[in-house]
């Protein structure tokens, strides 16, 4: 397996490795750069009876850091640095080729398959040169993956005005996209800039793979999957949601221990607040009354947006847990300063028990799984979306980057489980609007109640898709079985012929 070097990609790759091993007993190797391998290995449960590293091998690829000081993971990077990380990922090709050919030489045959990230499309060529097949894993949902791929492959989008709606190849005519849903680098891309060149070439290469995997479920995204299959003209296996089993089984007793899947999400993270303190705080509030706010592993909002959000939260008087990190424009890894928020904000919150501010990283799954959590204000990263809906928690969307705006569009238009508060870091958001939206979504009746009922239906769909009880197998379990069988016969065909 070859994930892209970002937290939101490493997590589903490792979860997929665990799922494949559980279903088949296969050994799986995950290759990445040293820092990311360190993140992944920090999630392995050393006390387990069957040491995980007996069947999931973590293999290091050297990181060719031509640009001094460029980090190996996209977490907390500026857009400019993320662009450099994309370019640097191309240099992994040679060492990856050597690594897979060493594995093949040791085993006496090539691996069954290489599962690679959609951003690392060159793996298709490595696979075919080594006598195996390549499957692309997009780590996102079907709708978002389709939108993002089609937008890059159908440039340019500039020249259109802000209010222009347009048809995007791959989607039906009735589904219109809006220019202001495009991130500014997509809006300015024309095929000659470095972002366009990277995405166009890597997505096109990924489209030459044997098939694609999506972290979604048939019953959850029927339309998105149908459109994606038509667009790619490839088999697409929906094998998600890749979430820890205890989250999907309502087994909350094990949530507070460093159990396998949960700790995956904390790869390489130090919590600055104990899980117990978070849980205690949530316990002191009534069911579905708390708003959880987080912008994922690598994003933040602008200083003025942060101020307005804080004022809106305080004025709404609703309890909340907010994962705070420095606003855009300040060193992301630096200390959070009180001046980023209204004067006396944290003290007032503490006194009134209205809000809990968590610095940098929170135990998100535990918070979302808690009965007191009533809604999630999120950047609509795909892992966050699945984690929220698997707990029937409705969403307030604030998409910031990548395919998040299209995830948000789907959640609002197709599923009715979200309201989009605003978009991006440039928008001017007023605290009164923040207050209005929070009050509407947290309301147990009206629109908020309706969103909650819809989220409940989705929660059941997601859980049904991963059911694995004897003959009673959910769609995603069947899809994984089918993927393995298909790969085995394909592998035999290639290796008999050669
Ligand atoms: N996450 C977390 N605590 C935080 C922020 C993020 O546990 O304070 C986890 C979250 O549970 C999710 C992942 O990090 O599994 C973020 O992935 P997502 O796809 O939502 O967004 P990305 O970080 O890729 O933008």
User: What is the residue-level pLDDT of the chain in tens, covering all 498 positions?
Assistant: 999 999 889 989 999 999 999 999 999 999 999 999 998 988 876 556 566 778 999 999 998 765 666 777 777 677 778 888 898 899 999 999 999 999 999 999 999 999 999 999 999 999 999 999 999 999 999 999 999 999 999 999 876 777 788 999 999 999 999 888 888 888 889 899 999 999 999 999 999 999 999 999 999 999 999 999 999 999 999 999 998 777 777 655 554 433 444 555 666 666 778 888 999 999 999 999 999 999 998 899 999 999 999 999 999 999 999 999 999 999 888 899 999 999 999 999 999 999 999 998 899 999 999 999 999 999 999 999 999 999 999 999 999 988 999 999 999 999 999 999 999 998 999 999 999 999 999 999 999 999 999 999 999 999 999 998 888 899 999 999 999 999 999 888 888 765
Pairing type for strands 211-214 and 320-324 reads: unpaired
- Tell me the best of 6, 358, 364 to mutate to test the pocket of ligand 1, counting ligand atoms within 8 Å of each CB and taking the most: 364
- How many whole angstroms from 9 Cα to the centroid of ligand 1? 10
Atom number, ligand 1, closest to the C-alpha of residue 362: 8
Q: Write down the ipTM of this complex.
A: 0.99
CA distance 212 to 123: 13
What are the helix and strand counts (H, E) for the chain?
A: 20, 16
pLDDT of the residue at 250: 64
- Tell me the best of 3, 266, 383 to mutate to test the pocket of ligand 1, counting ligand atoms within 8 Å of each CB and taking the most: 383
pLDDT of the residue at 50: 67
Decide: 297 in ligand 1 pocket, CB within 6 A: yes
Atom number, ligand 1, closest to the C-alpha of residue 297: 23
pLDDT of the residue at 73: 78
Looking up tokens 């003209």 gives 233
- How many whole angstroms from 362 Cα to the centroid of ligand 1? 9
Question: Is residue 15 a contact partner of residue 139, using CB atoms and an 8 Å limit?
Answer: no
Question: Is residue 409 a contact partner of residue 181, using CB atoms and an 8 Å limit?
Answer: yes
Question: Is residue 129 a contact partner of residue 147, using CB atoms and an 8 Å limit?
Answer: no
pLDDT of the residue at 17: 95
CA distance 263 to 414: 32
Return the closest-CA partner of residue 216 out of 414, 447, 53, 32.
414
Residues 6+ apart with CB under 8 A from 174: none
Decide: 294 in ligand 1 pocket, CB within 6 A: yes
Strand partners, 166: 177
Return the closest-CA partner of residue 227 out of 136, 135, 149.
149
pLDDT of the residue at 425: 92
pLDDT of the residue at 476: 97
pLDDT of the residue at 497: 64
- How many whole angstroms from 383 Cα to the centroid of ligand 1? 6
Give the residue whose CA is nearest to atom 9 of ligand 1.
Answer: 265
Tell me the C-alpha to C-alpha distance, in Å, between residue 44 and each of 111, 147, 438: 23, 34, 38
Check residue 140 and report its DSSP letter: S
- How many whole angstroms from 363 Cα to the centroid of ligand 1? 10
Question: Is residue 122 a contact partner of residue 93, using CB atoms and an 8 Å limit?
Answer: yes
What tokens does 227 get?
A: 């459109």
H-only helix segments in 211-291:
222-232, 245-248, 260-264, 275-283
pLDDT of the residue at 162: 72
Atom number, ligand 1, closest to the C-alpha of residue 365: 11
Return the closest-CA partner of residue 148 out of 116, 165, 171, 115.
171
Question: Is residue 313 a contact partner of residue 434, using CB atoms and an 8 Å limit?
Answer: yes
Tell me, letter by letter, the H, E, C secondary structure of 22-64: HHHCCCEEEEECHHHHHHHHCCCCCCCCCCHHHCEEEEECCCC
pLDDT of the residue at 49: 58
- How many whole angstroms from 175 Cα to the centroid of ligand 1? 28
Give the residue whose CA is nearest to atom 21 of ligand 1.
Answer: 381
Decide: 241 in ligand 1 pocket, CB within 6 A: no
pLDDT of the residue at 48: 62
pLDDT of the residue at 181: 82
Q: What is the DSSP string of 342-382?
A: -TTHHHHHHHHT-EEEEES---HHHHHHSTTEEEEEE---H
Return the closest-CA partner of residue 479 out of 304, 272, 242.
242
Decide: 291 in ligand 1 pocket, CB within 6 A: no
């Amino acid at each position: 397996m070859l994930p892209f070097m970002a937290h939101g990609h490493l997590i589903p790759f490792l979860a997929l490795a665990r799922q494949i091993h559980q279903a088949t007993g296969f050994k799986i190797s995950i290759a990445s750069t040293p820092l990311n391998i360190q993140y992944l290995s920090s999630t392995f449960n050393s006390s387990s009876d069957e040491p995980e590293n007996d069947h999931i091998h973590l293999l290091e690829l050297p990181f060719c850091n031509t640009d001094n000081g460029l980090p190996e993971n996209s977490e907390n990077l500026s857009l400019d640095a993320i662009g450099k990380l994309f370019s640097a990922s191309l240099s992994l090709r040679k060492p990856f080729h050597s690594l897979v050919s060493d594995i093949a030489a040791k085993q006496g045959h090539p691996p069954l398959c290489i599962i690679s990230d959609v951003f690392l499309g060159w793996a298709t060529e490595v696979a075919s040169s080594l006598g195996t097949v390549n499957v692309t894993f997009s780590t996102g949902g079907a709708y978002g993956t389709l939108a993002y791929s089609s937008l890059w492959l159908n440039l340019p989008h500039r020249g259109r005005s802000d209010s222009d709606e347009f048809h995007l190849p791959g989607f039906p005519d009735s589904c219109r996209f809006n220019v202001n849903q495009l991130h500014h680098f997509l809006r300015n891309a024309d095929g000659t800039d470095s972002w366009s060149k990277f995405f166009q070439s890597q997505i096109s290469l990924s489209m030459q793979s044997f098939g694609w995997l999506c972290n979604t479920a048939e019953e959850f995204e029927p339309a998105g999957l149908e459109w994606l299959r038509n667009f790619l003209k490839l088999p697409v296996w929906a094998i998600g949601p890749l979430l820890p089993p205890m989250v999907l089984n309502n087994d909350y007793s094990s949530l507070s221990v460093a159990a396998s899947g949960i700790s995956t999400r904390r790869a390489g993270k130090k919590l600055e607040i104990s899980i117990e303190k978070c849980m205690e705080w949530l316990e002191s509030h009534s069911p579905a009354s708390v708003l959880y706010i987080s912008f994922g592993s690598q994003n933040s909002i602008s200083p003025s947006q942060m101020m307005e959000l804080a004022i809106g939260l305080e004025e709404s008087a609703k309890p909340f847990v907010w994962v705070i990190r420095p606003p855009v424009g300040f060193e992301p890894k630096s200390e959070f300063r009180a001046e980023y928020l209204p004067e006396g904000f944290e003290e007032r919150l503490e006194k009134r028990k209205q809000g809990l501010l968590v610095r940098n990283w929170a135990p998100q799954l535990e918070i979302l799984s808690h009965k007191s959590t009533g809604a999630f204000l999120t950047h609509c990263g795909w892992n966050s979306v699945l984690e929220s809906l698997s707990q029937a928690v409705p969403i307030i969307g604030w998409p910031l980057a990548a395919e998040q705006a299209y995830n948000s569009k789907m959640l609002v238009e197709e599923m009715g489980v979200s309201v989009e508060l605003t978009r991006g870091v440039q928008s001017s958001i007023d605290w009164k609007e923040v207050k209005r939206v929070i009050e509407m979504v947290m309301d147990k009746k009206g629109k908020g109640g309706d969103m909650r009922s819809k989220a409940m239906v989705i929660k059941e769909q997601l859980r049904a898709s991963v059911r694995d009880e004897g003959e009673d197998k959910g769609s995603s379990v069947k899809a994984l079985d089918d993927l393995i069988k298909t790969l085995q016969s394909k592998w035999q065909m290639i290796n008999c012929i050669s």
